[in-house]
Structure 1
Amino acid sequence: MSQSQPLRVAVMGAGAVGCYYGAVLAKAGHPVTLIGRPALAEAVAERGLVLDTAQGRETIALRAVTGPEGVAGADLVLVCVKSGDTEEAGRSMRPYLAPGAVVLSLQNGVDNGERLASILGRPVVPVAVYVATAMEGAGHVRHHGRGDLILGPGGEEVAAQLNAAGIPATFSERVRDALWAKLTINCAWNALSALGGQPYGRLFAGEGVAAVLADVTSECIAVARASGVRLPEDMLAQVRAIATTMAQQRSSTAQDLARGRRTEIDHLNGHVVREGERLGIPTPANRVLHTLVKLAE
């Protein structure tokens, strides 16, 4: 994959995360195809993709389609579908992937890369994603903050390409540690944000919330350690910091519930519960949050 040539990029599952990274890559001169819902394809065909950032609003010309054939000919495929749709996405796009295409999993959870690789029969680069985005409407994405990526094995060259395009990207042999650190933050905040109906800053001031965050984090650390994962020593401090750094944001789980869509809770708190059962580690706080979100669904 030459760093001097534009990359043909396909985004499988062009929601808020996929649209944002697709927009940044298109701005850098890479031909981008978004694969998403019909409303997205229609809006982008009519007026382009609208991107709101702290610097203002831009309209970006790129291609948007609804079918998996949109990955055909792509050098780089960003898989951004919900965790529950991983296998279906893999099966649908497998016939169209170019032999040399590099596939990245930009998804919540810790095992999507492995699950996708088993469907595709080829390596998939797991990526820890740190970005706050939201869809404001069809073909209209808003960037709230960050945007950095940590790429796992197989992603060294791609990381350099992404950096050149303005996306902060680093490579790590231990990307699983980063994925678990993000999972821990998601387990602590996503369900509470969805059930409480409040942004993180206001939520943190609620009675008992700090203690619940500590309980969930403690369980995640115990399960991660038993799985051979190294989490940061200041993991709880990182969890608590979200109340300040993302005070006005609501979780993706909250956004899904508000839209009547299935959440990713089975791959967040649910994953910790299942791993805890496998390893003989109690996870009561994660279990309660998982159960309550499933009821809300």
Structure 2
Amino acid sequence: MTVAVMGAGAVGCFYGGMLARAGHRVTLIGRPQHVEAIGRGGLRMDTKSFDERVPVQASTEASAVAGAQLVLFCVKSGDTESAGEEIRPHLAPGAVVLSLQNGVDNAERLRRVLPQHTVAAVVVYVATEMAGPGHLKHHGRGDLVIEPFTGSDELARTLIAAGVPTEVSADVRGALWAKLTINCAYNALSAVAQLPYGGLLKVDGVRDVIGDVIAECLAVAAAEGITVPGDVTAATWRIGETMPGQYSSTAQDVARGKLSEIDHLNGLVVRRGDALGVPTPANRVLHVMVKLVEAKRASA
């Protein structure tokens, strides 16, 4: 299979790298420092089960999606429309685009930009970071839940064969809200404190704040008419226990002086809560705190 990864940061490099390692033709499209390092020595995949340099193509140009049967769309939520516009002229007819992004509305927004192509939402459960140029560090998990479409079962089998546990589910919307709730619980706190999940949970009062965030997210989801599957509270505590050394993606962005996706996490819950008449004070405070940290770093 010919695969392109648009926005090859940590998430894109992990899944693109797994497919390349399984023998598929993969092109990573990302930042120059990573592209240059990958061009010299391949993608270093430093994972829980192996540490290898995986040969893979890399480019800084959106036009590198040309000819791809599958596009893993992994850009930040704030760049969804602009990145979609960039790849649109170069997409092959029949190309499938999977949205492997944080937040709950990226696939909907991307479909408006790419109306001629199959765009599917994917829930991503993986803990990764870029430890250096061309160096992927994997901390845990790696499973996907994919929205059904024509050919989704076959694609799931391909991903499973590449070592990526994959499920096709008709309830991706509920699963996206479950993932959003977990992100809202940890991302802002990890960013403001610059602590990993395990460190957060050791601080007095943090579990109470996280409990408030979860309750607000579930209340907004219910007002939206969405049933969130499973026990989200238990799943949230498991994340902290099984990935104690993981920093949230928001914490990684803030540490690097980059704008985070907080507007599409806690900020989205606040906006939807306001529209639906659901109070979201805990999410509002966390959203504002991250915006303050971003503003301070920008002014510095």
> In which range does the TM-score fall when normalised by the shorter chain?
over 0.9
Q: C-alpha distance in 1, partners of 2:227/2:242? A: 24
Which residue in 2 is equivalent to 1:3? Answer: none
Structure 1 residue 247 and structure 2 residue 244: aligned? yes
- State the AA in 1 paired with 2:206: V
Q: C-alpha distance in 2, partners of 1:284/1:56? A: 43
Which residue in 2 is equivalent to 1:35? Answer: 29
Shift of 1:232: 3.4
- State the AA in 1 paired with 2:136: V
Which residue in 2 is equivalent to 1:4? Answer: none
Which residue in 1 is equivalent to 2:227? Answer: 230
Shift of 1:233: 5.0
Which residue in 1 is equivalent to 2:133? Answer: 138
Match of 1:70 among 64, 71, 74: 64
TM-score (normalised: structure 1): 0.96
- State the AA in 1 paired with 2:199: R
Shift in alpha-carbon separation, 1:8–1:195, aligned structure 2, 3 A: same
Size of the alignment, in residue pairs? Answer: 291
Which residue in 2 is equivalent to 1:15? Answer: 9
Q: C-alpha distance in 2, partners of 1:246/1:54? A: 12
Which residue in 1 is equivalent to 2:49? Answer: 55
Identity fraction in percent: 60
1:10-62 CA deviation, whole Å, 9 max, x = no partner? 00000000001111000111000000011111111111111101234200111
**Counterpart secondary structure, 1:206:** coil
- State the AA in 1 paired with 2:171: R
Q: C-alpha distance in 1, partners of 2:36/2:237? A: 40
1:229-254 CA deviation, whole Å, 9 max, x = no partner? 11235221211222211111110000
Query: Would you say the 8 A contact 2:94–2:118 is kept in 1?
Result: no
Q: C-alpha distance in 1, partners of 2:84/2:170? A: 24
Which residue in 1 is equivalent to 2:256? Answer: 259
Q: What runs of 5+ residues in structure 1 fail to find an aligned partner? A: 1-6
Which residue in 1 is equivalent to 2:297? Answer: none
Which residue in 2 is equivalent to 1:104? Answer: 98
Which residue in 2 is equivalent to 1:214? Answer: 211
Structure 1 residue 89 and structure 2 residue 86: aligned? no
